[in-house]
A and B are shown apart, each in its own frame.
Chain A
Amino acid sequence: MKRRDFLRVLGVLSGSTLLSACGSKTSKTFVSPILPPEEGVIPGEAYFSPSTCTECPAGCGLSVKRREGWPIKLEGAPGHPINDGGLCIRGQSSLTRLYHPERVETPMLRNDRGKFKAVSWEKAFSLVSESLAGSRDAGRKNLYLSGRTTGSLSRLIDAFCSRLGVERLPEFEVYSHSAVAEANGILFGERDVPRYRIGKADLLLTVGADILATHVSPVSYTRELSRARSREDFRWFHAEPHLSLTGANADRRFVVRPGREAVLLAYLLRQVLDRGPRRSGLPQEAVDALPRFSVGKASEKTGVSAEELAELADRMANARHPLVIAGGVSTSHRGGLEVAALAGMIQWVTGEIPRLVDFARNEKYGGTGTFRDMEALSARLSRGEAGVLFLSRTNPVFSLPGGFAFRENVRNAKLSVAFGDLLDETMQEADLILPLSHSLESWGDVEPRRGVVSLVKPVLAPLYGTLSEGDILLRLMGAVSGEGPATGYRDYLFAEWTKRFGKKGKDAFSRNGFVVEALPGTRVTLNGTKAAALLKDATAEGREPETPVLVLVPSLRTFDGRSRGLPLLSEIPDPLTTISYGRWLSVSPGTAKVLGLKDRMEANVSSGGWSQVFPVKIQPGLAEGVFVASRDFVDSPPLATDGRTGEATWFLEGIRIGKSGRVAAIPILSGSPSQRGRGLIPDPSHRDEKGHHGKESFYPEHEHKGYRWAMAIDLALCNGCSACVAACYIENNVPVVGKKDHLKGREMSWLRIEPFYGETGNVDFLPMLCQQCDSAPCETVCPVFAAYHNPEGLNVQVYNRCVGTRYCSNNCPYKVRRFNWFWHTWRKPLDRMHNPDLEVRGAGVMEKCTFCIQRIRAAKDRAKDDSRKVRDGEVTTACAQSCPTGAITFGNLLDPESKVYRLAHLARAYRVFEGLGTKPSVYYLGGAKGGPEKEGHG
């Protein structure tokens, strides 16, 4: 009877049963290859090969994970001199550039109707070589503009240019740090960004430099910072006009009036001179030129409270190894040069050159040009001086201020040839597009830091008919001279490497993926006269941008905008605002109240003739009168260039804000900016809040067999950089669902960064993932055992058993379970990224973090082969592996020797919502950013 009544319902179902019966993508054939695959390669096993990330100029070392020949994940190369195992969100996502569905596949020529048509390489080469000759005869200049280029490629370009009579222009980087370089040039005769040894400092003062997210070499800095923070005596202060991820993570953050950083530094320099141990003196003339401020005056000018200034001065004076780093927005306004110079002088006076500030290991921004150079170029183009214009790995049309009219002027070149992989604004303006191979498809090397050479090695043949820049140049040279390509770029490189490192060295290089050359230290001395000249009116009035001001900042997710195209990066929310898709304008709470603006309301920002409409996001911790937008959200902003440094000023002064009256649909993923005193992150000042260790269970504990997998996350180290999130997405085939579903609150991320703001605008980041509870509420309510607890303490979700009641998700206090609302698809060839060790979940199935059970399985498999247990550190999760700060530790809680065991038993270890008695396996290490016994920030 009861069966029949439910069968009555079946009438509808039977149809769909047949529909959904055919789902499996398992290949119905298996292949006998012609030859046995290369030695030692076993199907079903993962292999790692060294390479280098080219998503930004930092040049982090990669270890590329391959399965059956296809790269399926990028990981930071352990031991690499730059990133030592860590890899940022952009680096992780670089894989989606390789498999991007919209990559340029063949050379494309603009036909007379302005449309692009595919052409053969031969055609392209002959065309270029003809017009090279042609324009030379016509007295036009052939020009070569590229993004920052280091290593062999740079030398090849030189060779190419000299051989073909092409003028190589200064490289164009949006963030070329020219103010800092310029200042160092003036003061020390080293026009470059030095290497900062943060790890060795005991006091760090960063002024405007967004070292954790976008400044020069973020992962490298982050690593060093973690090292420094592990020392009790280390303190880190950050001064900036706006709020950046870096500021959010400093021990204490000072909000400086835009453009007044110089006053702060001048005050500090004076204090150091007066009180500090003056390891190396400042020439008298400079001392005299240095303006003198009382604490009160300085505080009044900078907007930093007198107490804080005083304390900062004390610490600066008493620190053994203080390090001051100026950069970013603080050196990109009219007073930027002075700010940089003052920082340099403090470095000099405190005698930390060359110990902490090493010019021998420059970050190699010397050769990089400035906006001034681009202004010049634009002018030359407008005069029609240019014959063939090569534009390689650079997007000036998008990046340059509207005033430069670069878009229009490019058209004046006789033939503009753009190299690139995804069609960007500049390529669209070009006459000829030459598609570049992804770095995973090509040979090469980079030298991101002087003496540090990192290998770029292909892991697969180009997916399309693309070439590496090196091959293009060589073949062009061949085409011009008519004798065809001399050698491939690969052979060229091998020759180069053998020349540089010797035979043995070369093999070691291609094995390890990097070389660190021994370099002689560079002694620099401070040029007093020039210093004095700089100091004269360093703090003069009227330099600072007038408020209200719109600060344009580099973006954690897209850097200068070059990573915009990568789908994964828009799916992962910005850690400060939790906005995933679209643009927004960050407004301070006070200003918002005054203007009557609320989240998602549209505001019209205008300055001079320029104006643009942004949805508003209220940003706690932002100073009054300061508005922030990511650089790549703004279309051709009216930026000025600083005459002396050539740096663009990233401040739009005296802007006007108006309500447009409309409300925009932007996905703000966080339901509440504050944690409402719910103790997700207990306030370090009163420990007891952390409170009772769970409830007593009514039932006896169940025992664990062999392993109990657990995780410890150090909130004092986590800086919200979201690299772990990207790693998780790629490792676990987590679908990218897009804006529409984000607006509905249907994001699929297994791991998310939850920012929680305090009253003072300080923010803590909480990485939230499945807590693998020992008494999991989700398990009990599942009617079919799809969610259950396995003997190793994992909260397992059996996808194929799940019927999709969503009860588990309802009953999860951490809301980390994700339901597949649709049949998610990956646009080809993105599906190549799929990790074959996991099923791709179909519609109607609940999924969630598994502690990377596939990695655990593999590790146990290895261990079983030589009949032993899995060693501590042998298996780690994707998030832990990628974390640049090393905040995440994974291991076996049953092993008292394991690192995770030690951390889980620290005094500051706690578990979220312990009062609910869920007994999570994820331990968070509370405490202020500065580490255990340090003051909170704010």
Chain B
Amino acid sequence: MIAYFGVVFLAMAGLAVAWQQAGLSPDQPIAFPHTIHVSKLSLPCNFCHIYVDISRHAGGPPVEKCMSCHKSIATEREEIRKLTRYYEEKRPIEWNRVYSLPDHVYFSHKRHVKAGLDCSECHGMVGAMKKIRRVGSLKMGWCVSCHRARGAPRDCATCHQ
């Protein structure tokens, strides 16, 4: 009997772990290197993530913005060709989410940025990641521990919607 449940549990646990690992660092339609843009060119985050300090959502850069430089820069590279193709075919780029929260969570980038939090606190050293991978579990405990540490509100209604 106990053995049986042991098996069931292990199976479920294994599944859960596999599930997570998969989501940690998905491939992107265009292998965008944060290393170059953040570290080398040291662009500020909100140069591309235009809404990060005015909205819940950080938002991605309009393709036009990418093209403003990449019309001329590194145009021969395969990835940039992809980009140009998106632009010419007027197709929006659908990036795979690395950080996604469930529906019942209310999270506002604006509030956290305005509270003086540095992006790296949650997103890690993006500048050092050739391919973005998730740092932090995004589990409730993960949020709460930080909220506890910084005396941020722990009223359930702040985050649960």
Q: Do chains A and B touch in the complex (CB under 8 A)?
A: yes
- Chain A residues in 8 Å Cβ range of B155: 790-791, 796
A109 to B61: give the CA distance in the assembly, Å.
46
Residues of B in contact (CB 8 Å), total 47
Given A32-B63, A43-B51: A798 and B160 interface contact (C-beta under 8 Å): yes
- Chain B residues in 8 Å Cβ range of A28: 96-97, 100
Chain B proximity of A4: nearest CB distance (Å)? 7
- B64's partner among A10, A36, A45, A791 (CB-CB below 8 A) is A36
Residues 721-753 of A at the B interface (beta carbon under 8 Å): none
- Chain B residues in 8 Å Cβ range of A8: 1, 5
Is B147's beta carbon under 8 Å from chain A? no
- Chain A residues in 8 Å Cβ range of B91: 34
- A839's partner among B1, B87, B103 (CB-CB below 8 A) is B103
Which of A28, A785, A837 lies at the interface centre, i.e. has the most chain B CB atoms within 10 A of its CB?
A28
Is B57's beta carbon under 8 Å from chain A? yes
**The 6 A-B residue pairs with the shortest CB-CB distance in the complex, in nearest-first order:** A44-B56, A32-B60, A839-B104, A32-B93, A800-B104, A29-B94
Given A32-B61, A36-B65, A45-B55: A838 and B161 interface contact (C-beta under 8 Å): yes
- Chain A residues in 8 Å Cβ range of B157: 790, 794, 796, 798, 853, 857
A785 to B160: give the CA distance in the assembly, Å.
13
Is B17's beta carbon under 8 Å from chain A? no
Binary contact track A249-269/B, C-beta < 8 Å → 1, others 0: 000000000000000000000
B90 touches A14 (CB 8 A): no
- Chain B residues in 8 Å Cβ range of A796: 155-157, 160
Is B50's beta carbon under 8 Å from chain A? yes
A112 to B96: give the CA distance in the assembly, Å.
51
Chain B proximity of A50: nearest CB distance (Å)? 24
- B94's partner among A25, A31, A854, A865 (CB-CB below 8 A) is A31
Is B45's beta carbon under 8 Å from chain A? no
Chain A proximity of B23: nearest CB distance (Å)? 9
- Chain A residues in 8 Å Cβ range of B136: none
Residues 122-161 of B at the A interface (beta carbon under 8 Å): 155-157, 160-161
Binary contact track B54-84/A, C-beta < 8 Å → 1, others 0: 1111011111111000000000000000000
Is B36's beta carbon under 8 Å from chain A? no
- A840's partner among B5, B103, B108 (CB-CB below 8 A) is B103
Given A43-B57, A794-B157: A32 and B92 interface contact (C-beta under 8 Å): yes
A34 touches B63 (CB 8 A): yes
A794 to B60: give the CA distance in the assembly, Å.
35
B54 touches A36 (CB 8 A): no
A29 touches B104 (CB 8 A): no
Residues 1-59 of B at the A interface (beta carbon under 8 Å): 1-2, 4-5, 8-9, 12, 15, 50-51, 54-57, 59
A14 to B93: give the CA distance in the assembly, Å.
39
B102 touches A26 (CB 8 A): yes
Binary contact track A826-857/B, C-beta < 8 Å → 1, others 0: 00000000000111100000000000011001
Residues 806-839 of A at the B interface (beta carbon under 8 Å): 837-839
7 A-B pairs, CB-CB below 8 angstroms? Answer: A7-B5, A11-B8, A26-B97, A26-B101, A861-B110, A861-B111, A864-B114
Residues of A in contact (CB 8 Å), total 45
Is A519's beta carbon under 8 Å from chain B? no
B92 touches A31 (CB 8 A): yes
B95 touches A29 (CB 8 A): yes
A790 to B127: give the CA distance in the assembly, Å.
40
Is A17's beta carbon under 8 Å from chain B? yes
- Chain A residues in 8 Å Cβ range of B55: 42-45
- B57's partner among A44, A798, A799, A839 (CB-CB below 8 A) is A44
Output the nearest chain B residue to A705 by Cβ-Cβ distance. Answer: B155
- Chain A residues in 8 Å Cβ range of B51: 42-44
- Chain B residues in 8 Å Cβ range of A44: 51, 55-57, 108
B62 touches A34 (CB 8 A): yes
A35 touches B64 (CB 8 A): yes
Chain B residues at the A interface, C-beta cutoff of 8 Å: 1-2, 4-5, 8-9, 12, 15, 50-51, 54-57, 59-66, 86-87, 90-97, 100-104, 106, 108, 110-111, 114, 155-157, 160-161
B92 touches A34 (CB 8 A): yes
A10 touches B95 (CB 8 A): no
A796 to B104: give the CA distance in the assembly, Å.
14
B87 touches A34 (CB 8 A): yes
Given A8-B1, A853-B157: A31 and B60 interface contact (C-beta under 8 Å): yes
Is A33's beta carbon under 8 Å from chain B? yes
- Chain B residues in 8 Å Cβ range of A7: 2, 5
Is A294's beta carbon under 8 Å from chain B? no
- A26's partner among B12, B59, B103 (CB-CB below 8 A) is B103
Is A24's beta carbon under 8 Å from chain B? yes
- A30's partner among B15, B62, B97 (CB-CB below 8 A) is B97
- Chain B residues in 8 Å Cβ range of A32: 60-63, 66, 92-93, 95
A11 touches B50 (CB 8 A): no
- Chain B residues in 8 Å Cβ range of A4: 2
A36 touches B100 (CB 8 A): no
Chain A proximity of B161: nearest CB distance (Å)? 6
A122 to B106: give the CA distance in the assembly, Å.
48
Chain A proximity of B69: nearest CB distance (Å)? 15
A799 touches B160 (CB 8 A): yes
Is A760's beta carbon under 8 Å from chain B? no
A32-B92, A796-B157, A853-B161 given; 19 more Cβ-contact pairs under 8 Å: A4-B2, A14-B12, A18-B12, A26-B103, A28-B96, A30-B94, A31-B60, A32-B63, A33-B62, A34-B92, A43-B59, A44-B56, A45-B55, A788-B156, A796-B156, A798-B160, A801-B160, A839-B103, A853-B157
B56 touches A25 (CB 8 A): no
Is A20's beta carbon under 8 Å from chain B? no
A865 to B9: give the CA distance in the assembly, Å.
47
- A31's partner among B1, B2, B95, B156 (CB-CB below 8 A) is B95
A36 to B66: give the CA distance in the assembly, Å.
11
Chain A proximity of B136: nearest CB distance (Å)? 17
Is A697's beta carbon under 8 Å from chain B? no
B92 touches A790 (CB 8 A): no
Output the nearest chain A residue to B96 by Cβ-Cβ distance. Answer: A29
Residues 22-78 of A at the B interface (beta carbon under 8 Å): 24-36, 42-45
- Chain B residues in 8 Å Cβ range of A34: 62-64, 86-87, 90-92
Chain A proximity of B125: nearest CB distance (Å)? 21
B62 touches A11 (CB 8 A): no
Chain B proximity of A915: nearest CB distance (Å)? 29
- Chain B residues in 8 Å Cβ range of A17: 12
- Chain A residues in 8 Å Cβ range of B56: 43-44
Output the nearest chain A residue to B11 by Cβ-Cβ distance. Answer: A14
- Chain B residues in 8 Å Cβ range of A30: 57, 60, 94-95, 97
A14 touches B104 (CB 8 A): no
A583 to B72: give the CA distance in the assembly, Å.
70
Output the nearest chain A residue to B7 by Cβ-Cβ distance. Answer: A14
Output the nearest chain B residue to A796 by Cβ-Cβ distance. Answer: B157
A838 to B5: give the CA distance in the assembly, Å.
37
Chain B proximity of A798: nearest CB distance (Å)? 5
B8 touches A854 (CB 8 A): no
A7 to B2: give the CA distance in the assembly, Å.
9
Residues 761-802 of A at the B interface (beta carbon under 8 Å): 785, 788, 790-791, 794, 796, 798-801
- Chain A residues in 8 Å Cβ range of B2: 4, 7
A10 to B57: give the CA distance in the assembly, Å.
39
Chain B proximity of A41: nearest CB distance (Å)? 10
Output the nearest chain B residue to A36 by Cβ-Cβ distance. Answer: B62
Chain B proximity of A347: nearest CB distance (Å)? 54
- Chain A residues in 8 Å Cβ range of B60: 30-32
A18 to B91: give the CA distance in the assembly, Å.
36
- Chain B residues in 8 Å Cβ range of A839: 103-104, 161
Chain B proximity of A903: nearest CB distance (Å)? 25
Binary contact track A670-703/B, C-beta < 8 Å → 1, others 0: 0000000000000000000000000000000000
Which of B95, B101, B161 lies at the interface centre, i.e. has the most chain A CB atoms within 10 A of its CB?
B161
A853 to B12: give the CA distance in the assembly, Å.
36
A612 to B84: give the CA distance in the assembly, Å.
69
A648 to B37: give the CA distance in the assembly, Å.
76
